[in-house]
Amino acid sequence: MDITLVKEAKRGSRNALVRLIMDEKQDYYRLAYAYTKNQDDALDALADMIVILYEKISVLKNEACFDTWSRTILVNCCKQILRKKKKIILFDKMPEISHEGEFRQKEQEILLDSALSKLSPKHQEVLKLRFFLDFEYQTIAEILKIPVGTVRSRISTGLAKLKNILGDENYGGN
Amino acid sequence: MAEIEDMLRKQGEKFNQIEPPPEMEERLHLALENSSMRKRSGKMWSLRVAVLIMILFLFGSQIDSFAYYGKKLLGYDQIMTGTLRELNELGSGQTIGKSYTFKNGVSITLDGIMLDDNQMLVFYTMKDPRGTVDELYSNHSMSLRGLFKEYQMHSGQGNMNEEKTVMKNMFQFQAPLFFEKKLKLTFYLGEGAQKETGEIPFTLDWTKAMGHSIKKPLQAVMEIDGNKIRFDSIIASPTTTVIKGQIQSIWALAQDEMKGERIRPYYMDLKLLANGREVSRQGSGISTGMKGITFHQEFDALPKDLKELKLQLASFTADFDVHEEVELNINDREKSLEILGQKIVINEVFHKNGDTFIKITSEENVVLTQVDLIIDNEKVDLEETTTDQYEKKADGAILHTRILRFPGSGSKLKLDIQRIVYEKNYHKTMDIPLD
């Protein structure tokens, strides 16, 4: 991260602010995507984030903290979108196959996704940040503004619950 | 626990492949430019919402008084099955007759519903004076909400007039819970950047609900090739008959996934025989979720004079993990392979314009769903499948010949087949006791 860009952004430069995000566009986009799970909402969250950053960057005291600060705001914007979002059911759900290689099934994703969705949002988010985005405990703690100990305990509780959810279904079928 | 961490990490790998779309930068600039304008328009919007709510309120109360105008739903004959037409003739179901008109002039009228233990059928008319009701159909979606939950939509169909101004639709929803009284059907209409939501609230009349004739657990298992298909329940109601069950438990599924031996069922050809005659099939679904791989199969309503009921598994189509490597030579002709009992013939292997082509023949329902070619120890993805030819044999089997094209060429070739789909016939039958 370029500290001079942060300083420029603090002085009101919109271009500098956009540059700061675009320099690490993959990281920002993937973080938004981890929460929203689709492109439209991820872009909406990023747009909401940059407006808040622009309005509040003048009060950011330590420029070196821009990364964590902006990611915390992004996470909050994603959560806001998820709260507002209405569930729309799509008509066409059935995939079709007719040829070799056209098809890439996603059951494992669906399986884990639905298991994850049974966890509380607090546990879901730490597991995604840790395992999907490969964030360190410390980074997660800073972004979510919770102690590292809490991150650790949420991850281990989350994993245990996930195991229970998968294991609980073991009674069926056999 | 480590297994679960591995599964999570494996799933996480896809995040490393997600790339931000090219429009991201523009979106950020636009958001900043619009941010000051957005604040100003906020108040206007809330005023508009207030006006809209008032109008809806006035209209809403007027429309209610027009409800229950008749007993039979008109204009739905073409999309109703025979059973539904009979029920409609008898005046079963509840007429509603409430409308919502969108800003673009499109109106949606909820004509009526039919409710029994299996499903709630929603009948509605879409009117588009512009004559684009067909486009509208693909740009609209809906949800049904009760007191505590949203009811899932299963399927639907529509029928429009030649002018494309009127479309009659029938959609099937999960049956609402017994305590629900007031439901709300919400339509989402999106045309370009314009999105609008229209709501039609209505009250369920449970005296019009049609219940069921058979509702029982089945607790039956059919074993096929080491897999147990479990039949859980049957609910026969006046509109439809639904059989539910499980193909694989979540635990078996997770274990197979870890071992790389997954079975992904595509289609189960299940027949329901009532008094020895096949009951027509209405729909089916297989889903993978927290309960493992589950299925439901829907048939028409059962005959009234039911004496005997049988269930027959005719065939099962699934995608199997196989991991089969086959060494090929450039001049190979008519080389025969057998994978999971399915015959696949490599008719020809040739190079052309720097690419490698492999011509194969198999039975029509056999597809190599995941196949790569290893050219001089380097794996290349399948580029395309071309020149399909079908040939019907004297015994009724249909053979499918096609050419697979892989980019690049080399002297050492190995076909790496990872997954294969095929249909297997079983014809296993079981009785469903009627007591």
Q: Where are the domains of chain B?
A: 40-208, 214-320+426-431, 323-421
Q: What single-letter DSSP state applies at residue A24?
A: T
CATH entry 1.10.1740.10 includes domain A3-84: yes
Please tell me the predicted confidence (pLDDT) of residue B60.
Answer: 33
Q: Is the pLDDT of residue B37 over 60?
A: no
Question: Is the separation of the CB atoms in B75 and B86 below 8 Å?
Answer: no
Contact B288 A110 (CB under 8 A): yes
Which among A99, A108, A115 has CB closest to B290? A115
Per-residue pLDDT tens for B239-294?
A: 889 999 988 776 677 677 677 777 777 778 899 999 999 998 877 777 777 777 88
Is the confidence at residue A174, as pLDDT, over 80? no
- Quote the percentage of chain B above a pLDDT of 70: 89
Cross-strand pairs, B140: B189
β-sheet bridge partners, residue B182: B203
Residues B210/B116, Cβ–Cβ less than 8 Å? yes
Closest CB to B367 among A48, A100, A118: A100
In this predicted structure, what is the pLDDT of residue B277? 92
CATH 3.30.300.340 fits B214-320+426-431, yes or no: no
For domain B323-421, give the fold.
Answer: Immunoglobulin-like (2.60.40)
List, as ranges, residues 206-245 from B with C-beta within 8 Å of A. Answer: 228, 230
Q: Look at residue A107 and tell me whether its pLDDT is greater than 90.
A: no
- How does DSSP assign B250-311, residue by residue? HHHHHHHHHHT--EEEEEEEEEEEETTEEPPEEEEEEEEETTEEEEEEEEPPPPTT---EEE
**Which contacts (CB < 8 Å, 24+ apart) does range A136-145 have?**
A139/A68, A142/A68, A142/A72, A143/A68, A143/A71, A143/A72, A143/A75, A144/A72, A144/A75, A145/A72
Distances (CA, A) of B295 to B82, B155, B216, B254, B426: 25, 15, 17, 18, 18
User: Could you tell me if B170 and B110 are in contact, meaning their C-beta atoms sit under 8 angstroms apart?
Assistant: no
Confidence of residue B193 (pLDDT cuts 50, 70, 90): low
Confidence at residue B41, expressed as pLDDT on a 0 to 100 scale: 37
Q: B17 vs chain A: nearest CA distance in angstroms?
A: 9
Other CB atoms within 10 Å distance of the CB of residue B284: 16
Please tell me the predicted confidence (pLDDT) of residue B54. 35
Stretch B20-48: mean pLDDT: 64
SS3 B333: strand
**CA torsion, ordered B190, B192, B194, B195, to nearest 10 deg:** 20
Residues 282-311 of B with CB under 8 A from A: 288-292
Question: For position B138, what pLDDT does the model report?
Answer: 67
Q: Contact at 8 Å (CB) between B363 and B372?
A: no
pLDDT in tens, B284-302: 777 777 777 888 888 989 9
Q: Which residues contact B79 (CB under 8 A, 6 or more apart)?
A: B157, B158, B159, B168, B169, B170
Strand, coil or helix: A136 = coil
Most confident of A37-41, A73-77, B40-44: A73-77
Tell me which of A13, A40, A97, A108 to substitute to probe the interface with B (most B C-beta atoms closer than 10 Å): A108
Residues of B in contact with A14 (CB under 8 A): 29, 32
A87–B143 CB contact, under 8 Å: yes
Supply the pTM of this predicted model. 0.53
Judge: A169–B142 Cβ closer than 8 Å, yes or no.
Answer: no
> Residue A45 — pLDDT band, cuts 50, 70, 90?
very high
pLDDT of A71-103, one tens digit each?
A: 999 998 988 887 766 433 223 222 333 445 433
pLDDT at A108 over 60: no
* Cβ atoms within 10 Å of B360's Cβ, excluding its own: 23
pLDDT value at B34 more than 70:
yes
Contact B265, B293 (CB under 8 A): yes
Q: Would you state the pLDDT for residue B71?
A: 59
Closest A-chain CA to B29:
A18
In 3D space, the residue among B34, B18, B13, B26 whose CA is nearest the CA of residue A28 turns out to be B18
Identify the residue with better confidence: B330 or B79.
Answer: B330
**pLDDT above 90 covers what percent of chain A?**
29
How far apart are alpha carbons B189 and B197 in whole angstroms?
6
Region of residue A121 (left: phi > 0; alpha: psi -120 to 50; beta: else): alpha
Mean model confidence pLDDT for chain B:
81
With contacts defined as CB-CB under 8 Å, which chain A residues touch B23?
43
- CA–CA separation, B96 and B108 (whole Å): 12
CB contact under 8 A, B11 and A108: yes
Half-sphere exposure of A96 (CA within 13 A, CB side): 2
Sequence-distant (6+) residues with CB within 8 A of B90 are none
Structure tokens at B226: 């080491």
Higher pLDDT, B172 or B73: B172
> Choosing among B290, B320, B361, which should be mutated to test the A contact, i.e. which has the most A CBs within 10 A?
B290
- Place B183 in a pLDDT band, splitting at 50, 70 and 90: very high
Terminal Cα-to-Cα distance of chain B (whole angstroms): 47
Whether B246 and A18 lie within 8 Å, measured CB to CB? no
For residue B375, the model assigns a pLDDT of 93
Looking at residue A71, its pLDDT comes to 92
A-B Cβ pairs (cutoff 8 Å, strict): 182
Residue A173 confidence (pLDDT) above 70: no
pLDDT in tens, B305-319: 899 999 999 888 888
Please check the confidence at residue B64 and state whether its pLDDT lies above 50: no
pLDDT of residue A111: 66
pLDDT given at position A87: 36
Q: How far apart are CA A125 and CA B181, in angstroms?
A: 37
Please state the domain extents for chain A.
3-84, 117-171
Residues of chain B contacting A135 with CB distance shorter than 8 Å: none
CATH number of B40-208: 2.60.40.1640
Token code pair at residue B332:
């190979």
Q: Measured on CA atoms in the order B2, B7, B8, B10, is the torsion positive or negative?
A: positive
Read off the pLDDT of each residue in B21-44 and give the average, rounded to a whole number.
68
The nearest alpha carbon in chain B to A34 belongs to: B15
B27 and chain A in contact, CB less than 8 A: yes
pLDDT interval class at B48 (50, 70, 90) = very low
Q: Do B143 and A97 touch (CB under 8 A)?
A: no
Question: What is the pLDDT at residue B223?
Answer: 83
**3-class SS letters over B75-106:** CCCCCCCHHHHHHHHCCCCEEEEEEEECCCCC
Contact B100, B199 (CB under 8 A): yes
Give yes or no for residue B69 having a pLDDT over 50.
no
Q: Using 50, 70 and 90 to split pLDDT, how confident is the model at B55?
A: very low
Q: Report pLDDT digits (tens) over B393-428.
A: 888 888 889 999 999 999 899 999 988 888 888 888
User: What pLDDT score was predicted for residue B247?
Assistant: 85
Q: Which CATH architecture has domain A117-171?
A: Orthogonal Bundle (1.10)
CB proximity B28 to A under 8 Å: yes
Rounded to the nearest integer, the mean pLDDT of chain A is 78
